[in-house]
């Protein structure tokens, strides 16, 4: 497959790995627990519908989530798990009208499918990276295997050992990262799982760095060079990315970007979109 064709295929796949709320029964607003915090204005148990969820499965305060203390809702993305569980796994059956056992099972498998879809996101991206060609066959196999698991029955999904599968995929993602960063001058910058909370990294040269799982909460990365950096699992809550360059940064997800701060001068990789609240000044 040519590189342009592969990119188009990946773009289509990535579009499907984004939440489509119109095709979902508001699962993230019901199935997940919330703890009152800076991200959520209320406490809520798993399986209890949020008080703001309307009967048509839309959010009643969608336009004012941040002002009302629900920043977490503007950051979250289900990677397309919501529409799969609603329309495919449970065949379009609404949790509001189904028997309680079926409803419980739906809420149980939603986070499982979300984790599998997150892996599909990484594997899809890895297959677009030319430097990872030596492991493309393994990546394709892992992608097909993960897709098979995500398409399982509710019972199969509920019984799935997700951490074990994640571990197997992670070996491949690590290898991908090494191959991609091998050609960059920053390949030796290892900040894996580093505690960089609140760090002053204005203008830092982090090109090609390994920032897997790094804690960058509220760090100042304004004007930093993050080109070609591996950002898988990095915690970017309130990280200031104003004027930072993330061109070619990989394994970055939309929720990570949504959680960070940025502006018109922030350069993002093509895989993610610029959050609306960056331009709305919220
Ligand atoms: S506030 Fe809105 S988006 Fe957030 S959980 Fe409640 S209904 Fe869903």
Beta strands in the chain (DSSP E): none
In angstroms, what is the span from residue 73 Cα to ligand 1's centroid? 6
- pLDDT value for 280: 64
pLDDT of 1 > 60? The answer is no
Q: Is residue 127 part of a domain?
A: no
The pLDDT value given to residue 184: 79
In whole angstroms, give the CA distance from residue 246 to residue 204.
12
Is the CB of 31 inside a 6 Å radius of any atom of ligand 1?
no
Q: How far apart are CA 259 and CA 270, in angstroms?
A: 18
- Out of 107-111, 183-187, 258-262, which region has the weakest mean confidence (pLDDT)? 183-187
pLDDT value for 14? 83
Checking if the pLDDT of 48 tops 60, the result is yes
DSSP states of 89-138: ITTT--TTTS-HHHHHHHHHHHHHHHHHHHHHHHHHHHTT-GGGGGGHHH
pLDDT over 80 at 61, yes or no: yes
How far is C-alpha 16 from the chain's CA centre? 13
Residue 90 maps to a domain:
no
In a domain, 232, yes or no: yes
Residue 186 has pLDDT above 80, yes or no: no
Instruction: Evaluate: CB of 34 within 6 angstroms of ligand 1.
Output: no
> Is residue 239 domain-resident?
yes
Does residue 21's CB lie within 6 angstroms of at least one atom of ligand 1?
A: no
113 lines ligand 1 (CB under 6 A): no
* Mean pLDDT (the chain, rounded): 94
Q: Is residue 242 one of the residues assigned to a domain?
A: yes
Distance (Å, whole) CA 241 – CA 203: 10
* Predicted pLDDT of residue 4: 67
- Whether 281 has a pLDDT exceeding 60, the answer reads no
263-276, pLDDT tens digit by residue? 999 999 999 999 98
Q: How far is the CA of 26 from the centre of ligand 1 (A)?
A: 8
Domain membership flag for residue 144: no
Whole-number CA gyration radius for the chain: 19
Of all protein residues, the one whose alpha carbon is nearest to atom 8 of ligand 1 is 29
Greater confidence (7 vs 49) lies with: 49
Structural domain count, the chain: 1
Atom 5 of ligand 1, residue of closest alpha carbon: 29
**pLDDT given for residue 187 in this prediction:** 65
CB 28 within 8 A of CB 55: no
Identify the pLDDT of residue 249.
96
Angle made by CA atoms 236, 40, 154, in degrees to the nearest 5: 85
Does residue 180 lie in a domain region? no
Q: Residue 218's domain spans which residues?
A: 188-282
Identify the CATH number of the domain in which residue 243 sits.
2.160.20.80
For 79-106, write each residue's pLDDT tens digit: 999 999 999 999 999 999 989 999 999 9
Where is average pLDDT lowest: 142-156, 183-197, 205-219?
A: 183-197
- pTM, two decimals, is 0.93
Residue 205, domain member (yes or no):
yes
* Interval between CA 29 and ligand 1 midpoint (Å): 5
C-alpha 166: how far from chain center:
14
Q: What is the pLDDT of residue 279?
A: 79
């Amino acid at each position: 497959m040519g590189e342009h064709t592969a990119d188009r295929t990946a773009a289509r796949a990535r579009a499907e790995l984004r939440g489509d709320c119109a095709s979902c029964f508001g699962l993230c607003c019901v199935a997940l627990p919330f703890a009152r915090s800076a991200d959520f204005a209320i406490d809520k148990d798993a399986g209890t519908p949020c008080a703001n969820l309307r009967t048509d499965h839309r959010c009643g305060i969608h336009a004012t989530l941040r002002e009302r203390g629900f920043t977490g809702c503007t950051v979250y993305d289900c990677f397309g798990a919501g529409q799969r569980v609603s329309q495919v796994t449970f065949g379009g059956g609404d949790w509001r009208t189904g028997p309680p056992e079926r409803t419980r099972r739906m809420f149980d498998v939603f986070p499982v499918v979300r984790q599998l879809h997150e892996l599909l996101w990484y594997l899809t991206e890895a297959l677009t990276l030319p430097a990872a060609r030596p492991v493309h066959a393994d990546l394709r196999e892992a992608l097909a295997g993960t897709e098979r698991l995500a398409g399982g029955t509710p019972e199969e999904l509920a019984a799935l050992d997700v951490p074990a599968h994640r571990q197997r995929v992670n070996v491949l993602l690590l290898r991908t990262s090494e191959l991609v960063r091998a050609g960059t001058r920053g390949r030796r910058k290892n900040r894996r799982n580093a505690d960089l909370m609140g760090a002053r990294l204005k203008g830092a040269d982090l090109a090609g760095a390994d920032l897997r799982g790094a804690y960058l909460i509220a760090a100042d990365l304004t004007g930093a060079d993050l080109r070609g950096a591996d950002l898988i699992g990095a915690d970017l809550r309130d990280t200031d990315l104003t004027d930072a360059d993330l061109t070619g940064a990989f394994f970055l997800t939309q929720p990570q970007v949504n959680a960070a701060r940025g502006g018109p001068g922030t350069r993002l990789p093509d895989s993610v979109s610029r959050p609306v609240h960056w331009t709305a000044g919220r």
